[in-house]
Amino acid sequence: MKTRWMTVALLACACGSSSGNGNDAGFSPGSLTGTGGMALTVKDAVFGIDPLYKDVVVIIADRTGLCGLLAGTTLPGDTNGLGLALARWTGSAPADHTTGDYAWIDLSTLSASTPPGNYWSGTYETVNSSCAVTASQDTSSGTVHVSQVGTTSGTHLKLTINSAAFGSSGTLSGNIEATYCAAVISASCGFLRARSPAATE
């Protein structure tokens, strides 16, 4: 049997409206604190839900107007972002995300032998103005706690990132509130290889 997965975009790459993600005036997407040389100044956070595989993809970046930027092929300049994929695995098929703790795993390894549970993985990337990834680091441990389920009808996704680890010493931690953005799933600039826990075949 083989587990299928999809590739989804990490960073949006075109000029667009800073209000394209539906954020209200004064809305704060949260903040992240880094150690070991890791840093990300959070200016926007959006999420999408894959309708087939049910995984939730979260994009956190140091650029505003992410949802309005998702369809293009250029950026005003270098953009740094953290992309997370959250998956609820039943043991044989994906399920809708829920509140609770998500343990780190390489999502490409999900299979019928993986115990049921909530899992996540992620990538930190720098994407230049031409939409090319110039630096990339995958996560290797840490937990994500979802305190509010995000919906396509406007309910924000709220989560806490606890010591997402990169390399031998770098971590990012903090609270994030992301708005729904359908374009997250189909964007094409920069890549977070979010392996979705699809049904086995």
Q: pLDDT tens, 18-73?
A: 334 444 546 799 999 999 999 999 999 999 999 888 999 999 999 998 887 766 67
Q: What is the pLDDT of residues 100-111, one digit of tens each?
A: 999 999 988 888
User: Considering the chain, what percentage of its residues have pLDDT values greater than 70?
Assistant: 79
Residue-range domain boundaries for the chain: 8-192
Name the DSSP class of 14: S
Strand, helix or coil at 81? strand
Candidates 16, 18, 24, 10; CA nearest to 154 is 24
User: Considering the chain, what percentage of its residues have pLDDT values greater than 90?
Assistant: 57
Confidence (pLDDT) at 67:
85
Confidence (pLDDT) at 150:
97
pLDDT average, residue stretch 88-92: 91
| 5 dihedral zone (left: phi>0; alpha: psi -120 to 50; beta) | beta
pLDDT average, residue stretch 172-179: 98
State pTM to two decimals.
Answer: 0.85
Q: Measure the CA dihedral 140/108/8/165, to 10°.
A: 0
Average pLDDT of the chain, as a whole number:
81
Residues 89, 93, 90, CA angle at the centre, nearest 5°? 40
pLDDT average, residue stretch 101-125: 92
Phi then psi for 66, rounded to 5 degrees?
-60, -45
Residues 113, 7, 158, CA angle at the centre, nearest 5°? 80
176 residue type, one letter: I
Gyration radius from the chain CA atoms: 15
- For strands 79-89 and 30-35, give the pairing: unpaired
Handedness of CA 133, 151, 177, 123 (dihedral sign): negative
Task: Report the range of poorest mean pLDDT among 127-131, 133-137, 175-179, 195-199.
Answer: 195-199
Angstrom distance (rounded) from CA 141 to CA 122:
10
Q: Are 163 and 173 in contact (CB under 8 A)?
A: yes
